[in-house]
Amino acid sequence: MLVIQRHEGQTVLVGDDVEILIIECGGRRVKLGFRAPRQVAVTRGEVKLTREQNLAASEPVSPAALREVGRRLPVLAAGRKAPGVAGIAGLATRPAKAWAVPTLGGSSGALDAKVVVAKGQAAAPDYGTSSPGVGKP
């Protein structure tokens, strides 16, 4: 990695088209300005991290991995009782007209969403476990 020391007000050039200006150096953060062609994307490193992590999180989950997280959920239940965390992220306290998180699979039936059985087949998620109630609203 190339390391260059710069002072406030000085610039660094990347290629011919990209200019980085050191606007301000604080104790803990640096303010930078970027001048670059429109087609050059300038993003924070965390955005790239988040994009990569989103792509990983979007991969289909295997039944084994889902069972593993299910096994850990009781451990998490204690945290869910923390103040301001009623129901889903505290949505139990939402105004009546706001959106809500419905439950599939037959239990509470709190809200409108339910699994619709297509052509007599139970729409079971692929957990690899039995799914009583799914598809039987």
Residues 117/106, Cβ–Cβ less than 8 Å: no
**Residue 30 binds another protein, judged by CB under 8 A:** no
**Residue 98 binds another protein, judged by CB under 8 A:** yes
Residue 64, amino acid: A
Nearer to another protein, 20 or 86 (CB): 86
Span of 3-11, 13-21, 34-42, 55-63 interacting with another protein by CB under 8 A: 55-63
Q: Read off φ and ψ for residue 12, nearest 5 degrees.
A: -130, 140
Nearer to another protein, 10 or 93 (CB): 93
**Residue 21 binds another protein, judged by CB under 8 A:** no
Please report where in the chains the tokens 């039936």 appear, as a residue. 109
Q: Read off φ and ψ for residue 23, nearest 5 degrees.
A: -80, -45
Structure tokens at 27: 């104790």
- Footprint on residues 57-96 left by another protein (CB under 8 A): 57-62, 64-66, 68-70, 72-73, 75-80, 82, 84-86, 88-91, 93-95
- Footprint on residues 113-132 left by another protein (CB under 8 A): 113-116, 118, 121, 123, 125-127, 129, 131
Nearer to another protein, 4 or 76 (CB): 76
**Host H or E run for residue 21:** strand 18-25
Structure tokens at 33: 């300005």
